[in-house]
A and B are shown apart, each in its own frame.
Chain A
């Protein structure tokens, strides 16, 4: 029996709630791409779940007409793990921020990724606490002046992708809010990945951290500041595609000019399926302005998926012991009868 799925469009995924983000916030674009991708996945609308924590970004579920949960600060990966724990058939997206996912919720993020729960996690990185009006976050650069760091931040920032890779992530990617076509393709790939898919999206907080990512988002600038990753292809970038990344003898990446004795074959070739995550880690540590920042899929490998394995343990136990029988359970162990 084949049941025809109704043909859905982005419009079908719009909820009746009024959007409450500031004008020109990067969140709008991410929402728009997200709503474009969902109807293309061949999944019934009622089988999507969007779970978020707290933050501007975490308002997201209210604006998507799926089952949704706007939960508490940092806990979305744990709540979503509970959803998947009982319903591996649902497609569950987690929406989190740099504070939500990496500060208060860092522990849950790490463990969801380590278990490889089949979640699609989008981390909106605006390098600031938006909802609480502009304190620095775990991704804010050193020296950053914010409401809570009037003399500049003295906290060393971390890279969300390094955290994900260090947590044994099976799918790691990065994109930019306004890079609509690229973002859509990354969301699609994440949706099709089996296991935790972790996506960092550079997101402009127009009010408290405006322009933090212009180097990576503005046309005419970004060409020299980002390098798009393609599996099996060399890392080439630049407005004239005349620059590349080579790994030197110290196993460090370096920027090289193509042409003067250096050919494409000398460059680093991307392999998102490498057994070891060292290449992905090396890429995740390439930061602006020293390097162009990689965009795209850093890593995509297969590993057993937690929620499927849990399901299999249940089926296996039923196969081995037969479906649970309460009478047998109650009467297990030593029993005696009182006449």
Chain B
């Protein structure tokens, strides 16, 4: 292009867009997760609705430049309500050839592609398996608006004079890319600038370098001839209130802390690190001033056991893990069922079996939660629908646990755990108190009877240290009322039924199931957990097109809401989309003798709205 084509900065056009899906991708060492989460933050603070999909390899440092080492972060920001991170990408930032190769298929025709050109001159091409430079492949790039940017060189220029090694300088590339994106979408960089200053307060030269790189990216957008247009995505019309960004794991930590406060008790968290649940431990360990005690156990067996021990004393106990760890917890969870002690077990699900896909999402463990213990061992199961919902479901799980004296399982998943969304900061008045009763006196003429039940079949929870109420619990079958060891055949049958009935009684304390869209008619789509957003968007789109489709999203999986059976009879077809080979669908079929059909995907990735729309339409 001739130099005369360069438009002065103030002549660049601004166009308005409703909604943008952007994806940062690069090598695991390129800082893409950081860039993505900063872009999320500034977009949220700007007032857009947002939804994110971080997608990273299980290896901390797969060989640099390899296909296996590509890490991506997708953000959907919009002036409308957002339900998912988006199907197709409007703007793709690819930091190296491997990232281009693995991500370009998701870029929309006509979409914007920004690449770090410097990385395409190097051996990285070979590592990505390219014979020749794809940036010279006109057929490949023709459908896109391509911007080849010498990010490595420009970043080095930007941080020049700060005394950084070339390696350190190159690590600032992500901030350069981020700056460019901020310019492209008119983002205010202030929250990021503050974050950098705070994060690197002990390394002022690194803080300075990142800020320079960020500014360099913004300046580049402003001055380069390559970009002539930038975009404005106006704020969304969210319900009035104060907002912040929250991930599912953060929201769980907040929710449990709030639950403990609302119950006026201390909180004990025992866990063993595992992806994608570790952040719950990290978050809670910073909240000791709330009286939160965290215990990093030697394994999940110990973590579960310690939670049982803490619950025995009369405190609120929780543990969290993912599939492999939940398997280890099984035996001690059964002890919790037998001793009828309250506690919450969080399973942040990931692809299985075995180590499976540690960093990828899957609705892997509903069956494990329902049936993964020896004997008849029922417990209530709840599942959050969104990252923000984790806050509420944590409190609900804790409420059920203490009200019904039972372990409760909370099924989150990798998608919810790491995904972020705007979260309306609750006021304390929105929180419900959790009633905890500890007896202080004998509950019968025969002294303290630990298994004397109330009308809901709930036994008393005596706090250890209460004079006169000394009693022994254990994993052996016990007599109802006295809690003494009892091998009597009829007693065992009685106790098995009582334990099951007590869990069934939880149904009376949970809200009825609501249906979105059609209240009766052709099809009811039933979903649970992290697929909420995609399913809701699909059903919304179809109902707006006049289709007779309803959506029931279950937050309570055991017991089911009491009206669910009746709801199901109002529709001709029941479709159950799940990120597994069909787990909820089996529970529904067996509970209601209904010919519910599954729609299943098990690729470690969330549903696309488009594939759900197709699946629903093809069955109408």
Contact = CB atoms under 8 A, between A and B. Distances in A.
Contact of A335 (B243, B266, B306): B243
A51 B310 CA distance: 12
A86 B310 contact: yes
A23 interface: no
Contacts of A44: 467
B258 interface: yes
Contact of A51 (B291, B303, B309): B309
Nearest to B475: A72
B468 interface: yes
A47 B470 CA distance: 9
B87 interface: no
A321 to B, nearest CB: 4
Given A317-B288, A326-B258, A338-B239, A81 B302 contact: yes
Interface in A307-328: 310, 313-314, 316-318, 320-324, 326-327
Contact of A72 (B45, B335, B425, B468): B335
Contact of B472 (A45, A62, A322): A62
Contact of A78 (B41, B44, B242, B301): B301
Interface stretch (A63-71, A183-191, A238-246, A275-283): A63-71
Contacts of B334: 72
A320 B475 contact: no
B147 interface: no
Interface string A202-220: 0000000000000000000
Given A83-B312, A335-B242, A339-B240, A75 B428 contact: no
B134 interface: no
Contacts of B428: 326-327
B289 A322 contact: yes
Interface of B: 41, 44-47, 191, 235, 238-245, 254, 257-258, 261, 266, 268, 270, 287-293, 295, 297-299, 301-303, 305-313, 315, 317, 331-332, 334-335, 339, 425-428, 431, 464-476, 484-485
21 contacts: A15-B472, A45-B467, A46-B464, A61-B472, A67-B472, A68-B471, A70-B473, A70-B476, A75-B301, A75-B302, A75-B305, A82-B317, A83-B464, A86-B317, A87-B313, A320-B289, A323-B289, A324-B257, A326-B258, A330-B254, A333-B245
A279 B223 CA distance: 75
B342 to A, nearest CB: 13
Contacts of B47: 336, 338
B475 A85 contact: no
A4 to B, nearest CB: 14
Contact of B426 (A66, A107, A330): A330
A317 B308 CA distance: 26
A75 to B, nearest CB: 4
Given A79-B308, A82-B268, A321-B289, A326 B261 contact: yes
A81 B309 contact: yes
Given A75-B332, A334-B245, A335-B242, A85 B268 contact: yes
A314 B475 CA distance: 32
Count chain B CB atoms within 10 A of each CB in A17, A80, A317, A323 and give the residue with the most: A317
A337 interface: yes
Contacts of B485: 17, 62
B309 A69 contact: yes
Count chain B CB atoms within 10 A of each CB in A69, A86, A331 and give the residue with the most: A86
Count chain B CB atoms within 10 A of each CB in A62, A71, A339 and give the residue with the most: A71
Count chain A CB atoms within 10 A of each CB in B305, B311, B485 and give the residue with the most: B305
A335 to B, nearest CB: 5
Interface in A203-260: none
A87 B465 contact: yes
A324 B258 CA distance: 10
A17 B44 CA distance: 63
Interface string A39-67: 00000111101010010000001100111
Contacts of B467: 44-46
Nearest to B192: A334
B293 A86 contact: yes
A67 B464 contact: yes
A242 to B, nearest CB: 47
Given A62-B485, A83-B309, A324-B261, A90 B465 contact: yes
Contact of A69 (B238, B307, B312, B427): B312
A128 B307 CA distance: 30
A17 B244 contact: no
Contact of A333 (B239, B244, B268, B339): B244
A111 interface: yes
Given A45-B470, A337-B241, A338-B235, A317 B309 contact: no
A69 B471 CA distance: 9
Nearest to A47: B465
B128 to A, nearest CB: 36
Nearest to A63: B472
Nearest to B41: A334
Contact of A329 (B46, B254, B310): B254
Interface residues of A, number: 59
Contacts of A108: 298, 301-302, 305
Contact of A46 (B41, B292, B309, B466): B466
B551 to A, nearest CB: 26
A326 B257 contact: yes
A89 interface: yes
B309 A318 contact: no
A235 to B, nearest CB: 36
Given A67-B464, A83-B310, A318-B289, A78 B425 contact: no
B310 A82 contact: yes
A225 B396 CA distance: 62
A335 B425 contact: yes
Nearest to B469: A46
B494 to A, nearest CB: 21
A317 B312 CA distance: 26
A333 B45 CA distance: 10
B468 A69 contact: no
B420 to A, nearest CB: 11
B313 A90 contact: yes
Contacts of A15: 472
Contacts of B427: 327
A323 to B, nearest CB: 6
B474 A69 contact: yes
Given A67-B464, A329-B287, A335-B425, A107 B302 contact: yes
B474 A70 contact: yes
B315 to A, nearest CB: 4
Given A75-B302, A75-B305, A82-B317, A336 B44 contact: yes
B337 to A, nearest CB: 12
Count chain A CB atoms within 10 A of each CB in B298, B468, B476 and give the residue with the most: B298
B191 to A, nearest CB: 5
A71 to B, nearest CB: 6
Nearest to A68: B472
A215 B298 CA distance: 38
Contacts of B315: 86-87
Contacts of A330: 244, 254, 425-426
Interface string A162-192: 0000000000000000000000000000000
Contacts of B290: 323-324, 329
Contacts of A71: 305, 308, 335, 474-475
Interface in A277-317: 310, 313-314, 316-317
Shortest Cβ-Cβ A-B pairs, 9 listed: A82-B309, A324-B290, A82-B306, A70-B474, A78-B305, A317-B288, A78-B302, A68-B472, A79-B309
Contacts of A329: 254, 257, 287, 290
A86 B476 CA distance: 25
A67 B471 CA distance: 5
